Structure 1
Amino acid sequence: MVPGRLRARRRSAPHRRDPGTVEGIDVLEPWLTRELETVPRYDRFPTVDEINDSLTKLAADRPDITTWRRVGTSRLGEPLWCLTVGDGARHAIVGAMPHPNEPIGGHTVIHLATRLCEDAGLRKATGYTWHLVACLDPDGTRLNEGWFAGPFTKTHYGRHFYRPAGDEQVEWTFPFAYKDAYFDRVMPETLALMRLIDETRPAFLTTLHNSEIGGAFFYLNRPAPGVHGVLQELARRYDVPLYAGEPEHPTVRMLDKAIFRTPDMREVYDYTERLGQDPSLVVAGGASDSYAARYGTLCLTAELPYWMDPAAGDRTPTDTSYRELLRRQAAGLREIAEELSGVLDAIRDDVVSDSPFLRASRFFAPLIAVNAETGEQRAADPGCDRPATIAEVRSALDLVHSHRLRFGGMLLRALEGELAIGNGTPRIRQRAASFAEVYATWCAEAESATPDETIPIGHLVAIQYGSILACAAEAARGAGGDGAGRARSDGDPQVRR
């Protein structure tokens, strides 16, 4: 066996089928597959209070190896909590729910903390001091908790969905300065994560995300070939297809199958500028990976869907041209933008609240229009004269359904919020009723468009958990002696033990 690399053993598991062969990191060989077996089954996602309570109990039970501390405060005044476990020379940060509609990480951070607390061998094998942030956006996460216990249908998800406006998202509000763009309206939640990054100079960082429908894919902030095979196999062993559809932005570069380089906001800015669009409509602040880059940190994002589409990895050509696919998607996005903007324009003079649902709706409606224009311009590229694959067709059309359910659901919640506080003007009542009919049609079309096959939550947590262990090991191996993620020398008892 080549030093520094691994072939994972084939083992049976009650919740997977054919594991295949993994290429990865030597330090994980004895226990990676065993660790995956420790992930329990789940039937719902945890609430903010449940995550905090679980980590609080771990801290109380193991004060000898943990520190439970407040690292910040949310915009609504809620404490942001961090559980530090272990005393390794290098540091790792794991933060749950940077986007509040992405709750897989709630279970993952609890399970990771539990295993670190109960297994000294695991703590020693990783060689890290782990800093686990319970929930990076508790205010926004609470606005999604209406769907965390199911039923796990697209309609129920959309009707209880919330995603903050761009300048209210933790991952979009790190400092950013490039050309005419300058962003420094750092939120308190973002500032808390910034301080933790500066304090620990982590060798490894992951904020726990997930996608919505399709297949699994991963972002790394730099190529890490030694771990690519592990990430791919983690999805395969739980029968989740590796995503082969449209990337989230045209500037995203593929490092390997279903593994992408984390988006660079400077490249997004340049791309938008070349199209003649206003970059300020697309680019807000930076992200945690760009901020942590100063410390040589390896950053991971594991994007895992709630609903699986078996066609998500199908690269078979279709009879649809890629050019026509882009135009169809752009037309669908433009329809959504016009519908949302029409409602917002009609009620502009009547609304009296400044609810997060209204702020988000006002942000996303014009952004969807910009994305439609981008698709129309991309369709003119000569490189689009090729057949679209099955995966590309499904992902492009799924995006339209996703935007309808997500942002239509938020706008309905905004309208219902006005009615709930007694602001039932004729325009608001009429628009709420008519848009509810439009939204019901959108839901029916989305439910019938692709198979509504939910992935067992435990499988999603296992993939995310395994990716954390694999990438943390890769970061430790790759950091060498450059000091990335090593304990600071200032003697801070909260960091260095």
Structure 2
Amino acid sequence: MKYPPNSGGDPTFSRQELAAIIGNRPPSVRELHDRIRDFSTRFPRLCRLTKAGKSRLGNELELLSVSGGPYEIFVIGDPHNDEPVGRATAFALAHQVVTRAELRADVTWHILASSDPDGAMLNDRWVTANATPTWDSYFRGLYRAALADQPEWTFPCPGFNAPLPETQTMMSIIDGFKPGLFEVVSLHNCMAGGAFYITPNKDARLVDLLARTAGRWRFTVGSTSIDTVGLESAGPGVYVLDPADRSVPGAAATDRRPCGASSIQYAHRHGGLGIAPEVPMWRTRPQVLPARKRAEALDRAAETLHDVLDRIRRYQVRASPFGPAVNDTLAIISGVTAWLRQNPDEPSPHDSPFKLSARAAGMLLRDIDIQLEAERHPVLLEERDRLDRELTAWLRGAEEEFRPVAVSIAQAVGFQLDTIVSSMRLFTGA
């Protein structure tokens, strides 16, 4: 692969430059690893590629380090396995820090381009389908692991100390940093809405940083995601996690497996800065819907999904990652519904009824497909057809309501890359 020259100077990288580096879609997990290895081979004097650990299924967790100054920045791609923008950002960042000496003057970089390769591979179907993903391909090809199966959410915290192997790898990397001299950036993307930051560091400078980076890349500021429900705001678009709390959406639900803290909370407790820059994959038409209406929509969807599950339960004979994920999503629906009813006057996420319902339905279809490989039982076939029709209707209704337009991968990566470089300059004084 040939790499274009860098324009240098300004942190506002052009879309054209980024498109030449990353292409027109995020890489698959295998493509990402091939690119990172190729890149480290081309720049051996600057790059060090180490096997930092292994995933639960035995995939290598490879850490790309680029030596520089005393301040250390640890960048995490695939913090959630259905959020591929970050892995494209991770590769673009590697290119920038190798080709721009000023980015190494004060900082040593550590890039874990995929922190959950096992789960991310289960999303490759929609990620690689085409350059402009549709909601249909997204929800029918999606896998969003249960929280307890997400490395990003099993860092130790009060009442929880069962980190997954991938989490232990990230912990060992963070534990090697000096307090006050490091930063952890966890690269997230949301489905729709604006650009925003989640952080345990209540620092007013992040509000201005977000306003500038979002403005340069033409994103609105603020969240319509369930991820920020109930979080304190430090200013427009900056949401503050309790450094010690689990702070997981829907945590009030009683039928969920336990999970822990996040990478950025762990970084904060060890004396570092933690930022999760979120960027949307689609722009949508703003919607105003009372919390009561959202709760009712979630109730109707949950009833449909539970009914399908009840009918097929005795035929779910094959182990599948989608079963636990569906149950966890239903628990999130329960928690969000309760929150909406308890807080009828609070701003509520406009996409939560559709997003959560479609996520659960798409994964349940994938689980049924796995069960059908064992036995093509009439009940499974009937319920699959029924659920497929429901999901199709939900998708058509949502597309008409929200009018989604895909954000280009270069624009999404540009915002995250700008955030990383600008935060580095802000907190190092570079």
* TM-score, normalisation: structure 2: 0.90
Shift of 1:356: 0.6
Contact 2:190 2:225 in 1 (8 A): no
The match for 2:280 is 305
The match for 1:483 is none
1:216-365 pair list within 5 angstroms: 216-243=195-222, 245=224, 248-262=227-241, 266=245, 268=247, 277=252, 281=256, 284-309=259-284, 311=286, 325-365=290-330
Do structure 1's residue 195 and structure 2's residue 172 form an aligned pair? yes
Do structure 1's residue 74 and structure 2's residue 27 form an aligned pair? no
Q: C-alpha separation between the residues in 2 aligned to 1:135 and 1:269?
A: 22
Shift of the 310–237 alpha-carbon distance from structure 1 to 2, 3 Å rule, reads farther
Shift of the 440–244 alpha-carbon distance from structure 1 to 2, 3 Å rule, reads closer
Shift of the 116–278 alpha-carbon distance from structure 1 to 2, 3 Å rule, reads closer
Shift of 1:229: 1.9
The match for 2:186 is 207
Task: Find the partner of 1:164 among 120, 145, 153.
Answer: 145
Q: Secondary structure at the match of 2:39?
A: helix
Q: What's the CA shift string for 1:135-178, capped at 9, x where partnerless?
A: 0010111111111132511111101011001110011111122x
Do structure 1's residue 469 and structure 2's residue 421 form an aligned pair? yes
Do structure 1's residue 61 and structure 2's residue 42 form an aligned pair? yes
Task: Find the partner of 2:353 among 397, 400, 419.
Answer: 400
Q: C-alpha separation between the residues in 1 aligned to 2:47 and 2:115?
A: 19
Contact 2:148 2:257 in 1 (8 A): no
RMSD over aligned Cα atoms = 2.6
What amino acid is the match of 1:296?
G
Shift of 1:103: 0.7
The match for 1:136 is 115
Q: C-alpha separation between the residues in 1 aligned to 2:384 and 2:368?
A: 6
What amino acid is the match of 1:292?
A
How much identity, in percent, do the aligned residues show? 27
Do structure 1's residue 427 and structure 2's residue 379 form an aligned pair? yes
Contact 2:185 2:275 in 1 (8 A): yes
Moved more, 430-439 or 30-39: 30-39
Shift of the 342–188 alpha-carbon distance from structure 1 to 2, 3 Å rule, reads same
Do structure 1's residue 31 and structure 2's residue 10 form an aligned pair? yes
What amino acid is the match of 2:18?
V
Shift of the 268–89 alpha-carbon distance from structure 1 to 2, 3 Å rule, reads closer
What amino acid is the match of 1:106?
R
What amino acid is the match of 1:239?
R
Contact 2:183 2:267 in 1 (8 A): no
Contact 1:91 1:130 in 2 (8 A): yes
Contact 2:250 2:333 in 1 (8 A): no
Contact 1:173 1:287 in 2 (8 A): yes
Contact 1:240 1:308 in 2 (8 A): no
Contact 2:75 2:111 in 1 (8 A): yes
The match for 1:447 is 399
Shift of the 92–249 alpha-carbon distance from structure 1 to 2, 3 Å rule, reads closer
Contact 1:70 1:80 in 2 (8 A): yes
What amino acid is the match of 1:461?
V
Shift of the 173–139 alpha-carbon distance from structure 1 to 2, 3 Å rule, reads same
Where does structure 2 lack aligned partners over 5 or more consecutive residues? 1-7
Shift of 1:128: 1.2
Do structure 1's residue 413 and structure 2's residue 366 form an aligned pair? yes
Where does structure 1 lack aligned partners over 5 or more consecutive residues? 1-28, 313-317, 479-497
Shift of 1:440: 1.1
Shift of the 32–121 alpha-carbon distance from structure 1 to 2, 3 Å rule, reads same
Q: C-alpha separation between the residues in 2 aligned to 1:80 and 1:112?
A: 18
Task: Find the partner of 1:84 among 45, 59, 65.
Answer: 65
Q: Secondary structure at the match of 2:172?
A: helix
* TM-score, normalisation: structure 1: 0.78
Shift of 1:239: 2.2
Contact 1:45 1:106 in 2 (8 A): yes
Question: In the comparison of the two structures, how many residue pairs are matched?
Answer: 417
Q: C-alpha separation between the residues in 1 aligned to 2:401 and 2:254?
A: 33
Shift of the 264–294 alpha-carbon distance from structure 1 to 2, 3 Å rule, reads closer
